[in-house]
């Protein structure tokens, strides 16, 4: 009962926290847009902002278009992009070969009731509570008529859907046994094998989910400089909880978190290009 109560408090606090940020951002948008309207009467008012999404054909099409562009992005990577990829991949290999097993054993040796309670609170944020938070944002915006909140929730949801789709395919292509079932960090199998149903360790879905939400929230509310510190701290604790619970290797966490972070950044970069086009239109 105590664990469930703490989880509900954390979820409600997070939701109220971002609702407050959304309201602040909405007010700032009103000032900026009103000034622009005085300069150009063709600009739509803030309650019908040209950048704001609703659940309709345009929004659904944007999910598919952004997914295609994100998947095809490596074909257009430049030197810096490949350097980031090499750094993450290289770190993952180092963790796999030198740290995965020692970290697993260290976590197993330090199992306490206090740490277990903490990880039990944060773990659901990478599963049911993360999507529940985004859904809650959407309905709050829809019911209250606050288009800023509605749009923010849809933007976060789009990034989460795309990163989830990509990580799910990766998990199917690279079957890896969970550390709770083996002490061998090299226990991989070939894909599309019916005997590998339990080989679902790589990459970490919880880490992908929570880092996608944290990155999207940081970009969505970038006028508040402290948001990334709060969002990424929660994301990190959620990801670490999966290693502590023996559900993932440390390298699973790194790759899952990196996927959620960088895929979300790519989706938001695509959105900025759309906004630039709209600015020219309006």
**Domain ranges, ordered by start, for the chain:** 2-281
User: SS3 for 170-212, per residue?
Assistant: HHHHCCECCCCCCCCCCCECCCCCHHHCCCCCCCCHHHHHHHH
Task: Give me the mean pLDDT over the 99-120 stretch.
Answer: 93
Segment 18-60, tens digit of pLDDT: 555 544 444 444 333 333 332 332 323 344 466 788 898 989 9
Cα 207 from Cα 249, distance rounded (Å)? 12
Query: Looking at residue 89, what is its pLDDT?
Result: 96
pLDDT more than 70, % of the chain: 80
8 Å CB contact between 88 and 255: yes
Of the candidates 24, 22, 26, 20, the one whose C-alpha atom is nearest the C-alpha of residue 49 is 26
Cα 272 from Cα 162, distance rounded (Å)? 17
Cα 130 from Cα 214, distance rounded (Å)? 10
Cα 281 from Cα 278, distance rounded (Å)? 5
Task: Give me the mean pLDDT over the 58-71 stretch.
Answer: 93
DSSP for 231-251 reads: HHHHHHHHHHHHHHTTSS-HH
How many other CB atoms are there within 10 angstroms of residue 96's CB atom? 21
Q: Token digits for 274?
A: 């759309």
Query: Looking at residue 44, what is its pLDDT?
Result: 36
pTM of the predicted protein model: 0.83
Query: Looking at residue 147, what is its pLDDT?
Result: 87
Of the candidates 58, 68, 100, 280, the one whose C-alpha atom is nearest the C-alpha of residue 204 is 100
Segment 189-227, tens digit of pLDDT: 998 877 788 899 999 999 999 999 999 999 988 888 888
């Amino acid at each position: 009962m105590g664990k469930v109560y703490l989880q509900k408090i954390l979820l409600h606090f997070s939701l109220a926290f971002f609702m407050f940020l959304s309201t602040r951002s909405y007010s700032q948008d009103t000032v900026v847009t009103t000034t622009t309207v005085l300069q150009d009467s063709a600009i739509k008012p803030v309650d019908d902002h040209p950048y704001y999404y609703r659940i309709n054909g345009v929004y659904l099409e944007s999910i598919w278009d952004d997914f295609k562009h994100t998947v095809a992005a490596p074909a257009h990577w430049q030197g810096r992009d490949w350097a980031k990829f090499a750094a993450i991949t290289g770190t993952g290999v180092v963790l796999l070969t030198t740290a995965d097993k020692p970290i697993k054993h260290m976590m197993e040796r330090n199992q306490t009731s206090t740490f277990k309670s903490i990880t039990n609170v944060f773990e659901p944020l990478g599963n049911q509570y993360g999507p529940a938070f985004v859904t809650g944002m959407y309905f709050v915006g829809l019911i209250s008529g606050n288009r800023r909140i509605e749009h923010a929730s849809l933007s976060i949801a789009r990034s989460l859907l795309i990163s989830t789709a990509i990580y799910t395919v990766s998990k199917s292509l690279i079957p890896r046994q969970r550390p709770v079932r083996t002490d061998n960090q090299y226990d991989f199998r070939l894909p599309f094998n019916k005997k590998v149903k339990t080989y679902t360790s790589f990459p970490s879905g919880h880490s992908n989910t929570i880092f996608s939400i944290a990155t999207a929230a940081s970009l969505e509310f970038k006028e508040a400089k402290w948001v990334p510190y709060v969002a990424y701290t929660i994301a990190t604790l959620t990801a670490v909880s999966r290693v502590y619970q023996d559900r993932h290797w440390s390298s699973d966490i790194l790759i899952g978190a990196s996927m959620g972070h960088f895929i979300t950044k790519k989706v938001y970069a695509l959105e900025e290009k759309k906004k630039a086009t709209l600015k020219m239109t309006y």
